[in-house]
A = this chain, B = another copy of it.
Amino acid sequence: MTENIPQNYDPSKYDRPSVTVDVVIFSLVDEDLQVLLIKRKFAPFADMWAIPGGFVRMTESLEEAAIRELAEETGVTDVYMEQLYSFGRPNRDPRTRVITIAYFALVPHDVIQHRPGDDAAETGWFSMFDLPELAFDHREILEYALTRLRYKLEYTAVGFRLLPDIFTLSELQRAYEIILSEKLDKRNFRRKILASDILEETGKKKRDGEGRPAKLYNYKEDAVAEVKTRRLFP
């Protein structure tokens, strides 16, 4: 039950931890899987980088808090986001007990609005494969997020949520290769992605630079979030 230690205790009587949401914001930047971090200005961990996040307000749900944090940092709302895990080691924040519910979001790079405004904190994009020193237990959270992202790519088809609205199959394959850190076979990739039936041709073609123009695809809006397939890649 939600509380019953004894049940007649007023929950408000107990010591209460602070509760935050942290949002791991993934994007593909420069052929790299990157994550948005914020530079802390104050102790503890002053001048170190940290995952964007903040307190859960008393009137908003956890997911609303995560969406709000995401919007504050990126100006974006309609992206793939899911709850990752909750972290609550007693001294993860040296000041006081802070429990954080971590989310992760997949954001197409082209929709992100740089907003140095708001809380005026310095932000930066960092490669997931070359992270700076991080505040709190944030490295652990990022590593957990990467594991989960890779896992999801293997048995669902969320990868395109990191790409612009329309994209080529080569771009999608490159996204998968970057995140999984392994090379995939072009023909097998295309067959499987198309077999999952979540993409449709736009009829348009991408003509830029050299080479044969590529068909542009978008994803079907009615595609179920969790495409229950077998693992997409070995």
Q: Does A114 sit within 8 A of B, measured CB to CB?
A: no
Question: Which residues of A (128-152) have their CB < 8 Å from a CB of B?
Answer: 135-136, 138
Residues of B within 8 A of A6 (CB): 119
Q: Do A119 and B4 touch across chains, with their CB atoms under 8 A apart?
A: yes
Of the stretches A27-35, A50-58, A195-203, the one at the interface is A50-58
Contacts A11-B98, A18-B14; A93 near B1 (Cβ below 8 A)? no
Q: Does A225 sit within 8 A of B, measured CB to CB?
A: no
Tell me the complex Cα distance, A89–B119, Å.
Answer: 26
Chain A 42-79, CB within 8 Å of chain B: the 1/0 string? 10000000111111111111100000000000000000
Top 5 nearest A-B pairs (CB, nearest first) are A1-B50, A62-B88, A5-B54, A16-B16, A11-B18
Can you list 26 residue pairs at the A/B interface with Cβ under 8 Å?
Answer: A1-B52, A2-B53, A2-B92, A2-B93, A2-B136, A3-B54, A3-B55, A4-B50, A4-B54, A4-B119, A5-B55, A5-B119, A7-B42, A11-B18, A11-B98, A12-B96, A16-B17, A16-B18, A17-B19, A19-B19, A58-B90, A61-B88, A62-B88, A83-B85, A86-B86, A230-B231
